[in-house]
Amino acid sequence: MPASTCAYVIALTLRDLGVTVIFGLVGIPVVDIAEEAINLGIRFIGFRNEQACSYAAGAYGFLTGKPGVCLLVGGPGVLHGLAGIGNCSANAFPSLFLAGSSETNLVGKGAFQELDAVSFLTPHTKLAVRPSSKEPDAVADAIRRAYHSCWAGRPGPTFVDLPADLIMDEVSQLPKQLLAAQMQSPAKPYPDPTIVSEAVKLLRRCSSPLVIVGKGAAYARAEVAINAFVSSRNVPFLPTPMGKGVVPDNSRLNASSARSTALKEADVILLLGARLNWILHFGQPPKFRPDVKIVQVDISVEELGRTNGIGEPSIGVVSDIGAFVEELHRRLNGWQAFSSIASQDTSSFLGKLSAATSKNEKAAKAKALTATVSGSTLTYQRAFHIIKETLHRLSPPEQGNIVYVSEGANTMDISRSLFPLHHPRQRLDAGTYATMGVGMGYSIAAYAAYNLPHGQLLQGKRKKIVALEGDSALGFSAMEIETMQRQKMPILIVVMNNSGVYHGDTANAKDWELLQKQTAMDEAGLDESGKKKGLRSTSLWYETRYEMLAEMVGGRGFFVRSEEELAHATRESYHEQEKVCVVNVVVEPGLGKSIGFAWQQKAKKGSGEV
């Protein structure tokens, strides 16, 4: 073999594992790994910040069902990447992180970017290792084991530390393991038949069953089984934010618009790949019935012991979601939760769900359908309505050609219910960890997962990635817009610009020039309520021109104030095949979810304390 270094062995090992994309940010010494990978035909997506690329690797793992791979420099690179490692761990995203580190003989002497990354990452990963030697077989073995471990069982992040002297070491032979076949996806656990029998008994006896579909069900690709079960057994279902689309949102059994009623009234809940954490109010009263019986299905046995605070789940099943639901469906032959889903009396479970749905949908639609008065600012609801209507005319939701990424407190919460999904794994948001700043990395990951480089079409289809971003959320990784354009990813980024974090800062936004003067001279006094005038913690620069971030790399930017401008910008951006697009929509500060309420109450009472 030609003279080469261990960097080549590392790249070859990844290629033979079936890795086709690496998300990363290079420096010495990992640049050699990236270069060898590119020469072997692996797509290297180079980011501007390790945080964004570590988020991307996790989202890619979730969307493709195979580990996302992330390459980082050591020390500070690993520290920045910890953001994504923690995020992958919290969300159970399969992801392999590789990072460089100091030369082995310099450890402890203050070497370049020195960090004991294995110790540092051990608590945050499923496995953190350094190859046992520089031998090609040892290096390949460490990478293969870490790749397998992040994928098997409950997915999560794993880590391989690669010292500089190892990466640069000259090798004279390739690892024997490379002759091994590409790694197969991990075996699925099947449910214990006696436990399925218990679940069958419980369902046959109950009166108000509910299925909760979590992102574990989406990751498990259990959509065929769950759709068959829900629709032929007439069981209402409730998706979690990233479980959306496993069953199409337009199903008549969708209880999303009656979420509180569904959780409060259900006597048996089939919990499919979702945890009873803050997203589901820990499964406790008053949100849930005190006597609710929960059949919890999870690939992780530890999760079953962590249930709703009342004790063990009524029935805990360690199983792949699809395998369990198929078996349950078969064993419940002939059973239906409700013989008909139409015309229920209002005291029944279905009747209550339907009444709550009508009431809530009417309220939600009111704002979306209220046209903006000429000269006034768009509301979130109205802006989303216009974006949705425009996109749906161009690509009906049944076709599933649009993948949504959404983050920012108001932007994420309000948009969640306004954009219906008909297909699974087409919506990414801040997730289990409520991580803000994931949007740019997730959008790049979604593009890479669903489209081939440079406009080649995957399975004959191209998917448009639409990122709905709060202005604050975008700011975490806005420089990745350059990455998108460099990688020829015509992603559509909508910025909901309320000039601030959460609700922004109405008072100051209205008199921005004065505020700037006051801040400069530091002579802002107190207002009548005892609140200091000047910048608040939620203030951002007033009406920042985020669309120029697209223009700086030859992409397309739209500054939008009116309904007509928004519809036009959305249409143009949807059709754009080559360029990244930023649609900067001005929405009024002060709208949407509020924070700092306790402070305001205190200020009103005149205490003036912060």
Strand partners, 296: 271, 316
Helix axes 50-64, 76-91, angle to 10 degrees: 30
Peptide bond preceding 286 in cis form (omega within 30 of 0): yes
Under the binding rule (CB under 6 A), the answer on residue 164 touching ligand ADP is no
Tell the smallest beta-carbon distance from residue 299 to ligand ADP (Å). 4
Tell the smallest beta-carbon distance from residue 406 to Mg ion (Å). 13
Judged by CB, which is closer to ligand ADP: 239, or 504? 239
Residue 348 to residue 345: CA distance in whole angstroms: 6
Tell the smallest beta-carbon distance from residue 427 to ligand ADP (Å). 11
Strand partners, 99: 72, 161
Q: According to CB under 6 A, which residues from 234 to 263 bind ligand ADP?
A: 240, 242-243
Stretch that binds Mg ion, among 99-107, 169-177, 442-450, 470-478 (CB under 5 A): 470-478
Judged by CB, which is closer to Mg ion: 498, or 508? 498
Judged by CB, which is closer to ligand ADP: 88, or 467? 88
Tell the smallest beta-carbon distance from residue 596 to ligand ADP (Å). 27
Structure tokens at 512: 């921005």
Judged by CB, which is closer to ligand ADP: 171, or 217? 217
Are 94 and 51 a contacting pair, CB within 8 Å? no
Residue 337 to residue 360: CA distance in whole angstroms: 24
The residue among 290, 169, 160, 277 whose CA lies nearest residue 216 is 277
Judged by CB, which is closer to ligand ADP: 89, or 113? 89
Under the binding rule (CB under 5 A), the answer on residue 539 touching Mg ion is no
Residue 219 interface partner, choices Mg ion, ligand ADP, none, CB cut-off 5-8 Å depending on type: ligand ADP
Residue 313 interface partner, choices Mg ion, ligand ADP, none, CB cut-off 5-8 Å depending on type: none
Angle at 140 between CA 135 and CA 141, to 5 degrees: 95
Beta-strand ranges (E) seen in 112-254 are 127-129, 157-163, 170-171, 209-213, 237-239
Under the binding rule (CB under 5 A), the answer on residue 265 touching Mg ion is no
* Residue number with the smallest Cβ distance to ligand ADP: 216
Judged by CB, which is closer to Mg ion: 94, or 592? 592
Residue 457 to residue 524: CA distance in whole angstroms: 57
Under the binding rule (CB under 6 A), the answer on residue 279 touching ligand ADP is yes
Which residue is listed with tokens 């070491």?
A: 169
Residue 314 interface partner, choices Mg ion, ligand ADP, none, CB cut-off 5-8 Å depending on type: none
Residue 220 interface partner, choices ligand ADP, Mg ion, none, CB cut-off 5-8 Å depending on type: ligand ADP
Q: According to CB under 5 A, which residues from 153 to 182 bind Mg ion?
A: none
Under the binding rule (CB under 5 A), the answer on residue 471 touching Mg ion is yes
Q: From residue 358, how far is each of 210, 234, 296, 351, 363 by CA, in Å?
A: 19, 19, 30, 11, 9
Beta-strand ranges (E) seen in 462-564 are 464-470, 492-497, 556-560
Stretch that binds Mg ion, among 268-276, 431-439, 472-480, 566-574 (CB under 5 A): 472-480
Judged by CB, which is closer to Mg ion: 254, or 472? 472
Tell the smallest beta-carbon distance from residue 62 to ligand ADP (Å). 10
Query: 466 φ, ψ to 5°?
Result: -115, 115
Stretch that binds Mg ion, among 20-28, 182-190, 228-236, 469-477 (CB under 5 A): 469-477
Q: According to CB under 6 A, which residues from 317 to 376 bind ligand ADP?
A: 320-321
Under the binding rule (CB under 5 A), the answer on residue 508 touching Mg ion is no
Residue 299 interface partner, choices Mg ion, ligand ADP, none, CB cut-off 5-8 Å depending on type: ligand ADP
Are 325 and 225 a contacting pair, CB within 8 Å? yes
Beta-carbon contacts of 494 under 8 Å, excluding residues fewer than 6 positions away, are 387, 466, 467, 468, 469, 570, 583, 585
Are 61 and 94 a contacting pair, CB within 8 Å? yes
Site string for ligand ADP, 90-129 (x = CB under 6 A): -xx-------------------------------------
Structure tokens at 13: 């090992």
How big is the site for Mg ion, counted in residues (CB under 5 A)? 4
In the chain, helix, strand, coil percent, each to 5? 45, 15, 40
Residue 275 interface partner, choices ligand ADP, Mg ion, none, CB cut-off 5-8 Å depending on type: ligand ADP
Are 351 and 359 a contacting pair, CB within 8 Å? no
* DSSP structural state of residue 458: B
Beta-strand ranges (E) seen in 402-543 are 402-407, 427-429, 464-470, 492-497
Under the binding rule (CB under 6 A), the answer on residue 214 touching ligand ADP is yes
CA 566 to chain centre: 26
Residue 498 interface partner, choices Mg ion, ligand ADP, none, CB cut-off 5-8 Å depending on type: Mg ion
Site string for ligand ADP, 417-456 (x = CB under 6 A): ---------------x------------------------
Structure tokens at 543: 């009406």
Which residue is listed with tokens 């209205």?
A: 510
Stretch that binds Mg ion, among 265-273, 465-473, 550-558, 565-573 (CB under 5 A): 465-473
- Contact residues for ligand ADP, defined by CB under 6 A: 91-92, 154, 214-216, 219-220, 240, 242-243, 273-275, 277, 279, 298-300, 303, 320-321, 432
- Contact residues for Mg ion, defined by CB under 5 A: 470-472, 498
